[in-house]
Structure 1
Amino acid sequence: MKERLQEAVELFEEVMIYGTEHVIKNMDIPIWKDYSPEQIQVLKILSTYGDLSSGKLAEIQGVHKSAISNRLKRLEERSLVTSKRDESDHRLKVIHLTAAGAKVLQVSNDAVYENIEKLFKDKIDDQELESFVMTFRKLKAILQMKGM
């Protein structure tokens, strides 16, 4: 089990690395000329988690708070996110994804999905895809339980 799990983790990491490289190098998405992959990831995180503090965003992205501050400043200048003081702790600023930010994220996601669909067409059958989806749903549920 240990060796198989280690292989699974290594394969997942490699797929993430190769996938990211493929997406960044081979996709000509106009919106990506305006926003960095890290900024798009901030939008994705906010879309997934809801409103978060900048500290929590930094923790999720695995970067220093100063890196998040710069990303948030640029996103806020373009009205893709807003920030406000946390109602329960006025020392914290909470970041909120705006409708414009959700739209930018949707355009980016649509382009990524379209590219991946073309890449995998006729290479992965429905049964393989269903197995993949079921496995990742299970992993997501396990990881969400750990966060509680």
Structure 2
Amino acid sequence: MRNQLQEAVELFEEVMIYGTEHVVKNLDVPIWKDYSPEQIHVLKILSAYGQLSSGQLAEIQGVHKSAISSRLKKLVEKDLVQSEKDVNDQRMNRISLTEKGREVLSISNAAINESVENLLKDQIDEQELEQFIKTFRKLKSILVTKER
């Protein structure tokens, strides 16, 4: 089982690498010219987690706080995220999506979904897709449970 798990992890990492490359190279969506993949990723994280501090965002993205600060400054200027003082700790700011940020993320997600659908069309049958979904739901559940 250890070898299979190692192969699964390696395949997952490779799918992430090649999938990201495919999306970046093949998406011809105007918003992808206005926002970097890293900025879109910040929007995705905020959509999944809700309000976060800049430190939490940096930790989730695996980057230094200065990189997040730069991204957040640009996203605030573009009205995609907002920063508000934490109600429990006025020293800390909480970052959240704006309505415009949700719209941009929705457009990006739709474009990615269409691109992946076109890529996989006639390549994966319904049974394989159902198993994929089942496995990833379970993996997500495990990860969410461990992180909270």
TM-score normalized by the length of structure 2: 0.98
Post-superposition shift, 1:28? 1.1
Task: Look up the match of 1:65.
Answer: 65
Task: Look up the match of 2:105.
Answer: 105
1:42 aligns with 2:70: no
Summarize deviations over 1:104-140 as a string: whole Å, max 9, x none: 0000000000011000000001100000000000000
Distance 1:36 1:139 in 2: 28
Distance 2:28 2:47 in 1: 23
Summarize deviations over 1:47-87 as a string: whole Å, max 9, x none: 00000000000000000001001111111011111101111
Post-superposition shift, 1:17? 0.5
Q: What does residue range 3-42 of structure 1 map to in structure 2 within 5 Å?
A: 3-42=3-42
Distance 2:27 2:40 in 1: 15
Structure 2 unaligned segments of length 5 or more: list them.
Answer: none
Task: Look up the match of 1:54.
Answer: 54
Distance 2:82 2:20 in 1: 28
Task: Look up the match of 1:143.
Answer: 143
Post-superposition shift, 1:91? 1.2
Percent of counterpart pairs with the same letter?
A: 68
Task: Look up the match of 1:78.
Answer: 78
Structure 1 unaligned segments of length 5 or more: list them.
Answer: none
Distance 1:24 1:98 in 2: 24
Summarize deviations over 1:27-61 as a string: whole Å, max 9, x none: 21110100000000000000000000000000000
Distance 2:71 2:99 in 1: 18
Count, aligned residues: 148
Distance 2:15 2:115 in 1: 16
TM-score normalized by the length of structure 1: 0.98
Distance 1:57 1:89 in 2: 17
Which residue identity lines up with residue 112 of structure 2 in the other structure? V
User: What is the DSSP-based 3-state SS (H/G/I as helix, E as strand, rest coil) of the residue aligned with 1:52?
Assistant: coil
